[in-house]
């Protein structure tokens, strides 16, 4: 736990900050009881002058997303093996690590948590986690919506014992729940045998993941305790998993309710007084406008996942044109001050399809799904209010999703995949790379068959020895992709124009196959034109169309080549990217020579 010698914020000041948020959730009587308990819980950690930290990130921040056992060996625990891999291969590449839930669990690969305060002994222990945190900024998951049916709290519920007796939602089995937004096809209510007979409890995600009842202030208090514990163990980012479903109110959709936003704001305000350097990130895999609401009025999430990016970028590469991706980019407002987008193209989950609503026409949507099926994907479904089902996410390794286009499989898989990652790390926001993207991991069909779960196709666990052999083979996809993406990330981290909050402006080349946008540093001393050929054909780029300032000296950061003739016409090879800049912040001594890229692009 975080400790100081004495509280540095009075109860009155603490109450003045927290009470207005809690009044949107709880009654006056409940708040009068809750506030002294909250203060007692947090007072040893409160700071007197905890001003908002607007410097939580810059262009140097790059995160990795991984399970604790994505790489396993016989001689060390999985978390120790992960730490060794990070230090050997990624110490100069990523600055932070999101270790997906590493707690004891009963299902859903960690997201059905049995004990929020312990490390799964099959992965390691808190010392292993904290050791990684000494080299990398850590992100922890706060799985705040639900808990495992095998947890102590739920056992207490079943035996009518405190405190868990009052931590869950039990309703008559015939309760009308048709309006409830469903991320799964399983029932909302699950029958459970308890000391008092069969009860039907709320289970948004699965029968093993029982939703918590935030109408009970004690549940809120429990999660403040958990947040403080995570910060004490070194968390610099706290990811609020499935947080949109937090509050339930019958007769509503039970997602994004005002009470949910108020609870997140209360979490943030408490964190602000404890450690203003810690960032909250909300995980809400929903259409874009709903997702943006989690910035609040600069008083809610510090970061939100850019969930529209993965399906729209993948569709653009499948179709060989940038129009829908550009439409979305132009609709995105700059992140508010003190906030940032969290950019990713792949994660432990599938590629969410709800964020494409209103952006892709039905025929193109269906073509994307059919194409992915041809590349080995599974399609997960969700239940709608009318009882029908619709595609919810594509389950596939992103590397295998790039096997080809809507026309079929081709020879451009590596180039197409690297292009996808280069686009992602160029956009406004903080880039995050799934470990299996950096390692070009293919579909794990055997793993999916073994678990019977679609998402296992993209949750491979590498054997440390086999992975080392692949990375030692310079011709393997794993070695090629890791080497090139590491090089690009290292270049990107030095460019002020790639600050997460630097200006972004979408350009409009006549050729729909070319995606182009302009980034400018906050100090306006660097511009980068990020240009990408999204197709499997060469395309010409007229530099005159970019209106480059002719008094500046320009170069392509990716190839390292100078750009001397601003009227020149370049031929972009299939899936080639360019970062044209007038002020390179670039130390070539630590990155491979650009001639190593001749296997990818025809560089003059």
CATH of the domain at 518: 2.60.40.1180
**Sheet with 351-352, side-by-side order of all strands:** 351-352, 389-395, 378-383
Check whether residue 128 and residue 152 sit in a common domain. Answer: no
Regarding beta strands 569-572 and 539-542, do their DSSP bridges make them parallel or antiparallel, or are they unpaired?
Answer: antiparallel
pLDDT tens profile 67-112: 999 999 999 999 999 999 999 999 999 999 999 999 999 999 999 9
Confidence of residue 578 (pLDDT cuts 50, 70, 90): very high
Check whether residue 472 and residue 525 sit in a common domain. Answer: no
Using DSSP, how many helices (H) and how many strands (E) does the chain show? 17, 28
Q: What is the CATH number of the domain that holds 189?
A: 3.90.400.10
Check whether residue 198 and residue 276 sit in a common domain. Answer: no
| 63 and 139 Cβ atoms separated by less than 8 Å | yes
Q: Where are the alpha helices (DSSP H) in 233-320?
A: 258-274, 288-292, 309-319
Q: What are phi and psi of 80, to 5 degrees?
A: -70, -40
Regarding beta strands 404-405 and 430-434, do their DSSP bridges make them parallel or antiparallel, or are they unpaired?
Answer: unpaired
Check whether residue 83 and residue 198 sit in a common domain. Answer: no
Please tell me the distance from the alpha carbon of residue 346 to that of residue 400, in angstroms, as a whole number: 12
Q: Which residues contact 80 (CB under 8 A, 6 or more apart)?
A: 124, 128, 131
Please tell me the distance from the alpha carbon of residue 280 to that of residue 142, in angstroms, as a whole number: 10
Confidence of residue 4 (pLDDT cuts 50, 70, 90): very low
Confidence of residue 307 (pLDDT cuts 50, 70, 90): very high
Query: Which one of 463, 492, 521 terminates a domain?
Result: 492
Check whether residue 261 and residue 356 sit in a common domain. Answer: yes
Query: Which one of 180, 211, 242 terminates a domain?
Result: 211
Q: Position of tokens 């407002």?
A: 333
Average pLDDT over every residue of 546-575? 93
Domain region containing 154: 146-211
What is the pLDDT of the chain when averaged over all its residues?
93
Q: What is the CATH number of the domain that holds 259?
A: 3.20.20.80
Q: What are phi and psi of 198, to 5 degrees?
A: -70, 130
Task: Tell me if 48 is assigned to some domain.
Answer: no
Task: Tell me if 170 is assigned to some domain.
Answer: yes
Check whether residue 178 and residue 225 sit in a common domain. Answer: no
Task: Tell me if 248 is assigned to some domain.
Answer: yes
Check whether residue 184 and residue 257 sit in a common domain. Answer: no
- What per-residue string of b and e applies to 229-246 under the rule 16 or more CB within 10 Å gives b? bbbbbbbbbbbbbbbbbb
Check whether residue 550 and residue 406 sit in a common domain. Answer: no
pLDDT of residue 586: 61
Count: domains in the chain: 3
Check whether residue 253 and residue 329 sit in a common domain. Answer: yes
- Beta bridge partners, 343, equal 431
* Catalytically active residues, by annotation: 241
Give DSSP secondary structure letters for 491-521: HHTT-GGGSTTSEEEE---S-TTEEEEEEE-
Q: Which residues contact 541 (CB under 8 A, 6 or more apart)?
A: 509, 514, 531, 569, 570, 571, 572, 578
Task: Tell me if 555 is assigned to some domain.
Answer: yes
Confidence of residue 602 (pLDDT cuts 50, 70, 90): very low
pLDDT of residue 597: 35
Task: Tell me if 108 is assigned to some domain.
Answer: yes
pLDDT of residue 385: 67
Check whether residue 543 and residue 454 sit in a common domain. Answer: no
Task: Tell me if 24 is assigned to some domain.
Answer: no
Burial of 465 (0-12, 13-18, 19+ CB in 10 A): exposed
Give yes or no for residue 596 having a pLDDT over 50.
Answer: no
Confidence of residue 237 (pLDDT cuts 50, 70, 90): very high
Task: Tell me if 9 is assigned to some domain.
Answer: no
Check whether residue 178 and residue 109 sit in a common domain. Answer: no
Task: Tell me if 20 is assigned to some domain.
Answer: no
pLDDT tens profile 490-514: 999 999 999 999 999 999 999 999 9
Query: Which one of 492, 510, 533 terminates a domain?
Result: 492
**Minimal CA–CA distance to 516: which of 270, 323, 334?**
323
- Triad 39, 45, 51: Cα angle to 5°: 95
The pTM assigned to this predicted structure is 0.94
Check whether residue 172 and residue 269 sit in a common domain. Answer: no
Give yes or no for residue 328 having a pLDDT over 50.
Answer: yes
């Amino acid at each position: 736990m975080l400790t100081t010698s004495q509280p540095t914020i009075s109860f009155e000041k603490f109450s003045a900050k927290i009470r207005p948020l809690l009044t949107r959730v709880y009654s006056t009587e409940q708040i009068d009881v809750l506030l002294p308990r909250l203060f007692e819980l947090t007072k040893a950690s409160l700071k007197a002058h905890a001003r908002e930290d607007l410097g939580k990130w810059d262009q140097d921040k790059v995160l990795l997303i991984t399970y604790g056992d994505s790489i396993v060996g016989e001689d060390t625990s999985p978390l120790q093996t992960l730490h060794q891999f990070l230090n050997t291969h990624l110490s100069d590449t990523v600055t932070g690590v999101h270790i997906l839930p590493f707690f004891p669990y009963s299902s859903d690969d960690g997201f059905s948590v049995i004990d929020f305060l312990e490390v799964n002994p099959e992965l390691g222990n808190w010392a292993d986690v904290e050791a990684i945190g000494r080299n990398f900024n850590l992100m922890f998951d706060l799985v705040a919506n639900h808990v495992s049916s095998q947890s102590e709290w739920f056992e207490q519920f079943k035996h009518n014992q405190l405190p868990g007796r009052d931590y869950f939602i039990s309703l008559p089995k015939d309760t009308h729940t048709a309006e409830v937004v469903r991320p799964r096809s399983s029932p909302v209510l699950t029958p459970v045998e308890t000391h008092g007979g069969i009860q039907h409890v709320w289970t948004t995600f699965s029968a093993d993941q029982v939703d918590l009842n935030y109408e009970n202030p004690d549940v809120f208090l429990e999660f403040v305790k958990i947040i403080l514990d995570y910060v004490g163990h070194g968390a610099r980012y706290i990811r609020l998993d499935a947080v949109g479903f937090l509050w339930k109110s019958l007769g509503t959709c039970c997602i994004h309710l005002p009470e949910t936003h108020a609870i997140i704001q209360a979490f943030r305000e408490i964190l602000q007084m404890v450690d203003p350097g810690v960032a909250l990130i909300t995980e809400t895999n929903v259409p874009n406008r709903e997702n943006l609401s989690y910035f609040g009025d600069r008083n809610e999430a510090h970061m939100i996942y850019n969930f529209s990016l993965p399906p729209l970028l993948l569709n653009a590469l499948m179709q060989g044109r940038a129009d829908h991706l550009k439409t979305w980019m132009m609709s995105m407002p700059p992140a508010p001050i003190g906030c940032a987008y969290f950019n990713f193209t792949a994660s432990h989950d599938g590629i969410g399809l709800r964020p494409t609503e209103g952006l892709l026409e039905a025929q193109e949507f269906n073509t994307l799904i059919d194409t992915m099926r041809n590349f080995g994907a599974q399609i997960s479904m969700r239940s709608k209010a009318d009882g029908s089902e619709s595609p919810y996410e594509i389950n596939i390794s992103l590397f295998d999703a790039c096997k080809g286009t809507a026309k079929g499989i081709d020879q451009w898989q590596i180039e197409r995949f690297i292009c996808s990652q280069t686009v992602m790390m160029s956009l406004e926001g903080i880039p995050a790379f799934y470990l299996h993207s950096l390692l070009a991991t293919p579909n794990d069909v055997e793993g999916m068959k073994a678990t019977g779960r679609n998402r296992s196709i993209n949750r491979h666990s590498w054997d440390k020895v086999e992975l080392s052999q692949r990375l030692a083979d310079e011709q393997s996809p794993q070695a090629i992709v890791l080497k090139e993406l590491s090089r690009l990330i290292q270049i990107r981290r030095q460019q002020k124009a790639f600050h997460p909050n630097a200006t972004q402006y979408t350009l409009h080349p006549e050729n729909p196959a070319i995606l182009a946008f302009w980034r400018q540093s906050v100090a306006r001393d660097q511009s980068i034109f990020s240009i990408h050929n999204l197709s499997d054909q060469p395309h010409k780029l007229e530099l005159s169309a970019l209106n480059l300032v002719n008094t500046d000296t320009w170069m392509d950061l990716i190839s390292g080549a100078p750009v001397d003739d601003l009227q020149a016409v370049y031929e972009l090879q299939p899936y080639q990217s360019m970062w044209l800049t007038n002020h390179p912040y670039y130390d070539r001594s630590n990155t491979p020579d650009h001639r190593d890229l001749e296997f990818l692009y025809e560089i003059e």
